Amino acid sequence: MASIDISSLSVASAQDALRRGDFTSVELTQSVLDTIAAKDGAIGAYLTVDADGALAGAAEADARRRAGEDRDLLGIPVAMKDIFNVKGQPCTCASRILEGYVAPFDATVVARLRAEGAIPCGRVNMDEFAMGASTEHSAFQVTRNPVAPDRVPGGSSGGSAAAVAGGLALASLGTDTGGSIRQPASFCGCVGLKPSYGRVSRYGVTAFASSLDQVGPIARDVEDAAILLQAIAGADPHDQTCLDRPVPDYRAALAGASVEGLRIGVPKEYFVEGTDPQVMALVRAAIDKAAAAGARVEEISLPHTEYAIAVYYIVATAEASANLARFDGVRYGRREVGPDGSLQSLYDLSRTHGFGPEVKRRILLGTWVLSSGYYDAYYNRALKVRTLVRRDFEAAFAKVDAILCPVAPTPAFKLDSTVNDPLQAYLCDAFTVPANLAGLCGVSIPCGRTADLGLPVGLQILCPPFAEPTLLRTARAMEGLLK
């Protein structure tokens, strides 16, 4: 069997090769499995690989193709963050509390990928329950940044980004609650797309913060991200928050992409002290290229940016405190009962030993901000400020088509450098959480590497809710300018 080099193979070019008959899906999938076996030991992106299931899926895809089917994702293996329910596969969310849990149903996004012929080939690492920005909060293993192995891949979808950047997957799905797709994409040098809130179904995606979570692709280029978004977007009767709005043809939106005449806003609050000067310089340079290519660049203000982190860590933890309450040892997952056999001991021990420290920290924080006497001061006030953050963007998008800014204040940081300083780690989310609070769509595309260490830096593009065509067109044009 021919071994295919997948290290820089895009979904679109793999599909072209499949269509031409250069190789079969079984051959492609086997190559992905072989590559994982050979190279993932050094990276640690995958938690589990479903080789048999993947090859069976590939054989089925080949049969569908022989029967005349032709789809953009037919026969393409896709790596899945360990947060998605895939029927018959484990779904641990990188947590001990779900060790051994096997999903009994497919998430809507998984069902849609399968319908398109894509193959969920393996489960990739993440911060436990998507809480973190380095994937170091996984209960099971460390994932290294393929570009710089002593550094984190970012998080929480760190496995998704590392798999794509490390040549261990053509593309992957992640989730983004406060930057968990865009930031690891930035750290690893991939394209990471967070769709608008309500664009993609959350059904079957283990919830972290329900009003912020969105599913999106991490891919090699903007076109692949558009192809994956096309497959997963659209209303779902199982998720009332997934809105019934038409799904445009995203790939078609890329044709002839240009920034000429595009109104670009540059928020001054995102270019402040504390941001790595190299990051700032690379993002500025990208914006200059856009201006040179005919974009009308103007400085804008998003005055409530400084409150976004506080609002985010109140809203997200409050929702998480309830969302994670179901992990109690009663029905599934880790179950540990004390010597007295009491219900309380079941709760206490299962959760104490099942959850890691970051998850516990957030559950406690969320429980606190909702508790009687503190609700108004924290949660209720946070909701009000969230509205102000949203209004900042509404006002900005009345003047500009897209916002360009950094994804994270730094490039990938070293392993073990933030785990003991949660507050510092939270502050690193400052440029990504506002998009989640406002329900915007956003993307991180590579915009160069730092001069000293050659670390990838991402450019963040933000557009109004449901303006994915503009977002993708802008991203595609910038991708061309930055090559």
Partner 1 sequence: MKYLVNIGLETHVQLKTRTKMFCGCLLSTESEPNTNVCPVCLGLPGALPRANKEAVKFTVMSGLMLGCEIARHAEFARKNYFYPDMSKNYQISQSERPLCLGGSVEIHEGGVPSGAPKRVRINHIHLEEDAAKINHYARHSGVDYNRCGTPLMEIVGEPDLASPDEAMEYLQKLREILVYAGVSDCNLEDGNMRSDVNVSLRPEGSAKLGTKVEIKNMNTFKGIHAALEFEIARQTALLEAGGAVVQETRRWDGDLGETFSMRTKENAHDYRYFPEPDLLPVDLSEEQVEQWRKALPEAPEAKRARFQETLGLPAYDAGVLAAQKPLADFFEATLAAGAPAKLAANWIMGDLLRLLGAASLDVADLRTVTPASLAALLKLVDAKTVNGPTAKALLEEIFKKGGDPEAIVKERGLAQVADSGAIEALARQAIEANPKPAAEFRGGKAASLQFLVGQVMKLSKGKANPKLAAEALRKLLS
Q: Of 25, 31, 81, 444, which is the active-site residue?
A: 81
- 333-352: contacts with partner 1 (CB under 8 A): 343, 347
Q: Is 375 in the site for partner 1 (CB under 8 A)?
A: yes
User: DSSP assignment of 106-146, as one string?
Assistant: --HHHHHHHHTT-EEEEEE--SGGG--SSSTT-SS-----S
- 204-223: contacts with partner 1 (CB under 8 A): 204-207, 209-211
- 234-293: contacts with partner 1 (CB under 8 A): 237-241
Per the annotation, the verdict on 342 as an active-site residue is no
The residue assigned the tokens 């590497």 is: 449
User: What stretches of 371-415 show up as alpha helix (H) in DSSP?
Assistant: 381-397
The CB-of-240 to partner 1 minimum distance in angstroms stands at: 5
Q: Is 370 in the site for partner 1 (CB under 8 A)?
A: yes
Per-residue x/- marks for partner 1, 102-141, CB under 8 A? Answer: -xxx-x----------------------------------
Q: Is 359 in the site for partner 1 (CB under 8 A)?
A: no
Choices 216-224, 292-300, 301-309, 369-377 (CB under 8 A): range interacting with partner 1: 369-377
Nearer to partner 1 among residue 270 and residue 379 (C-beta): 379
Nearer to partner 1 among residue 34 and residue 239 (C-beta): 239
DSSP β-bridge partners for residue 377: none
Nearer to partner 1 among residue 190 and residue 311 (C-beta): 311
Q: Is 178 in the site for partner 1 (CB under 8 A)?
A: no
* Element containing residue 404 per DSSP (H, E): strand 402-406
Which phi and psi angles does 171 have, rounded to 5°? -160, 165
Per-residue x/- marks for partner 1, 379-398, CB under 8 A? Answer: x-------------------
What does the block give as tokens for 447?
């915009």
Choices 222-230, 244-252, 317-325, 439-447 (CB under 8 A): range interacting with partner 1: 317-325
Q: Rounded to an integer, what distance in angstroms lies between the CA atom of residue 187 and that of residue 408? A: 9
Q: Is 353 in the site for partner 1 (CB under 8 A)?
A: no
Task: Choose which of 63, 325, 364, 377 interacts with partner 1 (CB under 8 A).
Answer: 325
How does DSSP classify residue 324? G
Per the annotation, the verdict on 180 as an active-site residue is yes
**Omega before 156 cis (within 30°)?**
yes
Nearer to partner 1 among residue 110 and residue 148 (C-beta): 110
Choices 60-68, 186-194, 201-209, 218-226 (CB under 8 A): range interacting with partner 1: 201-209
Question: What strands lie across the sheet with 456-463, from one edge to the other?
Answer: 46-49, 119-124, 77-81, 171-176, 214-219, 191-194, 441-449, 456-463, 402-406, 263-267, 296-300
**Share of the chain residues as helix, strand and coil, in percent rounded to the nearest 5:** 40, 15, 40
Q: Of 25, 31, 95, 156, which is the active-site residue?
A: 156
Q: Is 82 in the site for partner 1 (CB under 8 A)?
A: no
Q: Of 180, 186, 196, 444, which is the active-site residue?
A: 180
Instruction: Tell me the angle at which helices 108-115 and 222-232 cross, rounded to the nearest 10 degrees.
Output: 110
Per the annotation, the verdict on 7 as an active-site residue is no
* Element containing residue 215 per DSSP (H, E): strand 214-219
In this structure, the strands spanning 441-449 and 191-194 are antiparallel
Region at 207 (left for phi over 0; alpha for psi -120 to 50; beta for the rest): beta
The residue assigned the tokens 């078609």 is: 252
- Just list the catalytic residues: 81, 156, 180
Q: Which residues make up the interface to partner 1 (CB under 8 A)?
A: 84-85, 91, 93, 98, 101, 103-105, 107, 202-207, 209-211, 237-241, 318-319, 321-322, 325-328, 330-332, 343, 347, 367, 370-372, 375, 379
